[in-house]
């Protein structure tokens, strides 16, 4: 254990699915900053964002609030990963982002090999901005690509054209980003199988290190949710399963392997912030609706901008609520999350109790889960929730 | 009270014909309840009764009526259930009355169950006042309905009182008629006490409360009383009447109706139908009681969570305190574990018991498809009662099977005669008499296997006649039938709780339909689930529930693990109503799928 903790830089070299990497991630500390602004809300999105097609926002004021929040935070030790997400972080002045990274480093310090990741939308891409982001300290970029079919992009409410992506990726590499991710959304009812296959083929030809694949999910209260409840076709689980399996096969043949249900990377490029979340590590969260987890407490910030700013101005943490986890809660969260990792999760007492339970035994018999090298591993990531549901209820009563 | 100023009567009515509203209006008009305290359906106390608009339990309310003559009359309304399942409750109530109001909707006309109950009242020697309700509705045709009633019960169409229980129109005329036309009780006020127990219920705080009708003599608080059939002596701790709130009176005299509380907790000590007399000067001659209700329909009741078995037993024991018609014994199912085989008066009774168990005792139950009681004649010459399909002996030892038949009465608009006949024939019905009540409405009589009614007969009858037909039935006899058991296999394993006994001619189509229905009802699992129907070792039908390929959320809502966990827990909660059968999750409604296979 101690040598793993001592040498955190192993992440640079280890295979994406290595259990050592997953266990190291459990010890990592990370931070998330939420930049909530979007030009407009995508039809499937239920995140806490500010839709700028309706409201003009004062980015500078928000950036100041985030900096003030960072100053209020006691910290959890040196940070191994930072992720700036949204919303659309590429929408605001890169100088604000630079200030935020600086503030984090000043306040908490960064590990020598810290990962600093930034989410951007392709329509915001310019070489000048890219240089500014690199100069700010970002070494990983995550591009909201979603599809390489303009019709599907339109259905998803995205604003960019597929044709610009190849250039964005090569310019990102030239700008100096160490690691490049693209996000994909699959299984929109209007997306033909051929469109997905073509997107996957072309993504494989891009020079990317990491791909996140998200099955389009219908959330209540979204435009998509309303149209589905009004009778529009919903995404089909079987179709989504086929899409996913097609991607996994194509990507793994190109050396991009799934290390978590939705995340695939070349060796050495597993996202540290991501891994840390799924390995039940500790993280800080700053900004609107940001979440954090440290010292066995999960906290959440206000989802409303006025409340968030009001608390900051009054010198208070902008808390909406917290949830304290006892040891058993911690273990079952670790089990629930860890089942999503390709490396699986350590055989804790909770994992042991689950495997011994009636439901757990059924999954073992059906080959859905297995014990391998002292770890509990999910054989089919597509049924992770079915397993987690049972795992949660078993560990709640039997430990 | 002088018996000449007492009137005891029931209201016989079909569901929705306005009985509760009429009772409410009578209470209101006589000042028994102020308008301010008026809540509708005063007589229907159970939540279920209010929700479903039906009466399940008998009830009795006293009102004082100041007649124009200046005399005050004591009116006792003895409420009766309207549904066929509870006809034995009706006979209980009628035994406490001298008269009955036959309440009929002015646009609907008389319905089969109402007519059956009205015949019952006539046979019991009751005076009947026909009351035509809802005369203010646009579709009302009181003249036609009055003719119809006169045609079936005799008398003149003019005898019917026309009211609107809703607006109050005609209520005064009705009160006059009750006083003028219904006979007063004529027991012996100076004789030895004889009072009929026509209902008993268990009150958590007060123990058993019994509703009684004093026929002869009188009963006073503090009297030592004896239950004649049970030969058990008790003390009359409290005596009173319901108005509808309980009001102690100190005593009841001949002809009066009220309640008595004796402090006992065991409802079996004060059986409905027993006669109460004095312990020190007992009467020799008990009043005639009525036949014990016999269960007609049987179903398995199993807790979804096996740990709840004891709680289920306690709940059934408690329910029985108020429902002596409920019978049950422990049963073990390979698929469902430990539970009970319960006998019910009919389908509605079954549904109500199940709903009360779930609601009032917070139980999560699986009920199996209802079955009737068959008699299996074995090759060794012995007979066996079969209340559950899995109890049917193997074909090798089985000589023959008898099944229960019932006499069925259906009243339908004459335009639907064809479709009703078609339905009844498909259900193995044998046509009997047919009587025209009027040119538009006809009364049909059949003999039919009870098992066919127990399934979805009533729903089909309703849908084929656009809701206009009504049904009543009573048991007749047992007849030999060519029956087989259709078994259902999940994942290759027979599931005893799915077995059903059906007529040989319908077995193949039943098996096919059942398997198809189950494929719709059983959710996709993590592996393929084959569903098969079999007669003996012969598979007659097969379908497969294909494995679920995806059950995972895309991402983690920006680090909001709490939300993710809560979502999973909520989904898990939703699955609680599933029962594990082997390794297959089966929803509760699948166990009654047999009832729904004819749904379009």
Judge whether residue B338 has pLDDT over 90: yes
Superfamily of domain B297-370: Elongation Factor G (Translational Gtpase), domain 3 (3.30.70.870)
Check residue A284 and give its pLDDT: 97
ipTM: 0.87
pLDDT band at residue A76 using 50, 70 and 90 as cut-offs: very high
- Chain A closest CA to B275's CA: distance in Å? 54
User: Quick one: fold of B194-278?
Assistant: Elongation Factor Tu (Ef-tu); domain 3 (2.40.30)
What gap in Å lies between CA A266 and CA A248, rounded to an integer? Answer: 13
Judge whether residue B37 has pLDDT over 80: no
What gap in Å lies between CA B113 and CA B103, rounded to an integer? Answer: 12
Complete DSSP assignment for A157-214? T--S-GGGHHHHHHHHHHHT-SEEEEEEEE--TT--HHHHHHHHHHHHHS--SEEEEE
Check residue B34 and give its pLDDT: 58
Judge whether residue A2 has pLDDT over 50: no
- Chain A closest CA to B302's CA: distance in Å? 19
pLDDT band at residue A5 using 50, 70 and 90 as cut-offs: very low
CATH of B485-599, one of 3.30.460.10, 3.20.20.20, 3.30.70.2570, 3.40.640.10: 3.30.70.2570
Judge whether residue B44 has pLDDT over 70: no
> Could you tell me how many residues make up chain B?
600
Return the higher-pLDDT residue of B321 and A300: A300
- Mean pLDDT score, A183-209: 96
Domain coordinates of chain B in residue numbers? Answer: 3-181, 194-278, 297-370, 375-481, 485-599
Indicate the pTM of the whole model.
Answer: 0.70
Return the higher-pLDDT residue of B480 and B155: B480
Q: Do domains B194-278 and B375-481 have the same CATH topology?
A: no
- Cα separations in angstroms, B575 against A290, A389, B247, B588, B596: 31, 10, 48, 10, 22
Task: Tell me the pLDDT tens digit for each residue of A21-61.
Answer: 999 999 999 999 999 999 999 999 999 999 998 888 899 99
pLDDT band at residue A140 using 50, 70 and 90 as cut-offs: very high
Residue A390 at interface with chain B, using a CB cutoff of 8 Å: yes
| Interface touch A292/B553, C-beta < 8 Å | no
Chain A stretch 119-158, residues whose beta carbon is closer than 8 A to a beta carbon of chain B:
none
pLDDT band at residue A80 using 50, 70 and 90 as cut-offs: very high
Judge whether residue B42 has pLDDT over 60: no
Return the higher-pLDDT residue of B576 and B351: B351
Return the higher-pLDDT residue of B361 and B598: B361
User: To the nearest whole number, what is the mean pLDDT of chain B?
Assistant: 86
Task: Tell me the pLDDT tens digit for each residue of A85-136.
Answer: 989 999 999 999 999 999 999 999 999 999 999 999 999 999 999 999 999 9
Check residue B554 and give its pLDDT: 74
Interface of B with A (CB under 8 A): 526-527, 548-562, 564-565, 568-569, 571-572, 575, 580, 583
- Mean pLDDT score, B507-534: 93
Check residue A3 and give its pLDDT: 45
- Chain A closest CA to B290's CA: distance in Å? 52
- Mean pLDDT score, B370-398: 92
Task: Tell me the pLDDT tens digit for each residue of A222-242.
Answer: 999 999 999 999 999 999 999
Domain B3-181 classification at class level: alpha beta
At the second CATH level, the architecture of B375-481 is 2-Layer Sandwich (3.30)
Judge whether residue B82 has pLDDT over 70: no
- Cα separations in angstroms, A90 against A33, A36, A94, A97, B295: 13, 11, 7, 9, 74
Judge whether residue B32 has pLDDT over 70: no
| Interface touch A241/B569, C-beta < 8 Å | no
SS (H, E, C) B376-439: EEECCCCEEEECCHHHCCCHHHEEEEEEEEEEEEEEEEHHHHHHHHHHHHHCCCEEEEEEECCC
| Interface touch A261/B552, C-beta < 8 Å | yes
Return the higher-pLDDT residue of B579 and B486: B486
Chain A stretch 327-366, residues whose beta carbon is closer than 8 A to a beta carbon of chain B:
333, 336-337, 340, 358, 362-363, 365-366
Task: Tell me the pLDDT tens digit for each residue of B398-456.
Answer: 999 999 999 999 989 999 999 999 999 999 999 999 999 888 889 999 999 999 988 77
Check residue B48 and give its pLDDT: 57
Check residue A372 and give its pLDDT: 93
């Amino acid at each position: 254990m101690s040598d793993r903790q001592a040498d955190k830089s192993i992440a640079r070299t280890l295979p994406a699915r290595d259990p050592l990497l997953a266990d190291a991630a459990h010890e990592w500390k990370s931070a998330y900053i939420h930049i909530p602004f979007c030009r407009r809300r995508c039809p499937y999105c239920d995140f806490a964002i500010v839709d700028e097609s309706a409201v003009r926002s004062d980015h500078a004021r928000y950036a100041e609030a985030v900096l003030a929040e960072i100053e209020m935070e006691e910290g959890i030790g040196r940070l191994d990963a930072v992720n700036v997400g949204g919303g659309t972080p590429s929408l605001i002045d890169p100088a604000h982002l630079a200030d935020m990274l600086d503030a984090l480093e000043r306040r908490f310090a960064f590990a020598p090999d810290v990962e600093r990741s930034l989410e951007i939308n392709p329509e915001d891409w310019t070489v000048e901005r890219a240089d500014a982001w690199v100069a700010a300290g970002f070494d990983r970029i995550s591009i909201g690509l979603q599809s390489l079919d303009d019709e599907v992009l339109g259905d998803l409410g995205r604003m960019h054209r597929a044709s610009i992506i190849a250039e964005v990726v090569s310019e990102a590499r030239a700008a100096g980003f160490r690691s490049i991710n693209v996000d994909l959304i699959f299984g929109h009812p209007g997306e033909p199988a051929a469109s997905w296959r073509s997107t996957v083929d072309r993504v494989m030809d891009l020079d990317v290190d990491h791909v996140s694949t998200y099955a389009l999910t219908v959330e209540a209260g979204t435009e998509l949710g309303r149209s589905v409840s009004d009778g529009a076709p919903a995404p089909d689980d079987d179709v989504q399963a086929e899409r996913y399996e097609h991607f996994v096969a194509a990507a793994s043949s190109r050396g991009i392997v799934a290390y978590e249900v939705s995340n695939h990377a070349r060796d050495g490029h597993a996202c540290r912030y991501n891994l840390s979340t799924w390995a039940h590590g500790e993280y800080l969260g700053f900004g609107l609706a940001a979440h954090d987890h440290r010292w066995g407490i999960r906290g959440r910030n206000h989802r409303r901008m006025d409340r968030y700013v009001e608390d900051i101005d009054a010198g208070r943490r902008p808390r909406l609520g917290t949830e304290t986890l006892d040891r058993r809660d911690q273990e079952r969260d670790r089990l629930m999350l860890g089942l999503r990792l390709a490396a699986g999760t350590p055989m804790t007492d909770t994992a042991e109790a689950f495997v011994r339970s009636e439901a757990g035994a059924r999954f073992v018999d059906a080959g859905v889960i297995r014990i391998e090298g002292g770890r509990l591993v999910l054989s089919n990531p597509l049924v992770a929730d079915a397993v987690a549901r049972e795992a949660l209820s078993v560990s709640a009563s039997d430990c | 009270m002088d018996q000449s100023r007492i009137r005891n009567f029931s209201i016989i009515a079909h569901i929705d014909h306005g009985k509760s509203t009429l009772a409410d209006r009578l209470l209101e008009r006589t000042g028994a309840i102020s308008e301010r305290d008026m809540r509708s359906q005063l007589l229907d106390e159970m939540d279920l009764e209010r929700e479903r608009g039906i009466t399940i339990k008998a009830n009795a309310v006293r009102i004082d009526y100041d007649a124009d003559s200046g005399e005050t009359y004591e009116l006792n309304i003895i409420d009766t259930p309207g549904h066929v399942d509870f006809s034995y409750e009706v006979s209980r109530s009628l035994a406490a009355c001298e008269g009955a109001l036959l309440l009929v909707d002015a646009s609907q006309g008389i319905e089969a169950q109402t007519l059956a109950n009205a015949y019952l009242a006539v046979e019991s020697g009751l005076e009947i006042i026909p009351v035509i309700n809802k005369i203010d509705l646009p579709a009302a045709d009181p003249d036609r309905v009055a003719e119809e009633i006169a045609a079936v019960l005799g008398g003149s169409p003019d005898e019917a009182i026309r009211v609107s229980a809703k607006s109050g129109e005609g209520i005064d005329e009705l009160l006059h008629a009750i006083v003028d036309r219904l006979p007063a009780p004529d027991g012996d006020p100076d004789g030895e006490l004889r009072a009929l127990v026509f209902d008993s219920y268990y009150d958590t705080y007060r123990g058993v409360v019994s509703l009684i009708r004093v026929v002869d003599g009188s009963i006073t608080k503090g009297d030592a009383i004896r239950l004649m059939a049970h030969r058990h002596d008790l003390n009359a701790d409290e005596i009173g009447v319901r108005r509808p709130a309980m009001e102690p009176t100190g005593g009841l005299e001949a002809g009066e109706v009220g309640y008595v509380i004796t402090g006992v907790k065991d409802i079996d000590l004060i059986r409905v139908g027993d006669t109460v007399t004095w312990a020190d000067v007992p009467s020799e001659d008990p009043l005639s009681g009525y036949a014990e209700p016999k269960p007609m329909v049987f179903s398995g009741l199993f807790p979804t969570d096996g740990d709840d078995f004891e709680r289920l037993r306690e709940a059934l024991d408690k329910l029985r305190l108020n429902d002596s018609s409920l019978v049950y014994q422990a049963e073990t199912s390979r698929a469902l574990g430990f539970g009970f085989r319960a006998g019910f008066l009919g389908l509605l009774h079954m549904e109500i018991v199940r709903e009360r168990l779930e609601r009032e005792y917070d139980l999560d139950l699986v009920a199996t498809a209802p079955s009737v009681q068959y008699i299996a004649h074995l090759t060794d010459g012995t007979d066996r009662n079969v209340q559950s399909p899995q109890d049917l002996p193997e074909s090798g030892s089985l000589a023959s099977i008898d099944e229960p038949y019932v006499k069925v009465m259906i009243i339908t608009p004459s335009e639907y005669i064809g479709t009703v006949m078609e339905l009844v024939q498909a259900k193995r019905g044998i046509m009997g008499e047919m009587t025209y009540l009027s040119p538009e409405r006809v009364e049909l009589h059949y003999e039919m296997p009870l098992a066919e009614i127990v399934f979805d007969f009533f729903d089909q009858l309703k849908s084929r006649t656009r809701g206009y037909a009504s049904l009543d039935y009573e048991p007749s006899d047992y007849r030999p039938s060519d029956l087989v058991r259709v078994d259902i296999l999940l994942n290759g394993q027979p599931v005893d709780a799915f077995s059903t006994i059906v007529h040989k001619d319908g077995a193949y189509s039943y098996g096919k339909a059942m398997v198809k229905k189950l494929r719709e009802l059983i959710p996709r699992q993590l592996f393929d689930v084959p569903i098969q129907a079999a007669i003996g070792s012969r598979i007659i039908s097969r379908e497969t529930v294909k494995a679920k390929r995806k059950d995972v959320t895309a991402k983690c809502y920006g680090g909001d693990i709490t939300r993710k966990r809560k979502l999973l827990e909520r989904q898990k909660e939703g699955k609680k109503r599933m029962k594990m059968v082997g390794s297959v999750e089966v929803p509760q409604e699948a166990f009654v799928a047999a009832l729904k296979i004819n749904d379009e």
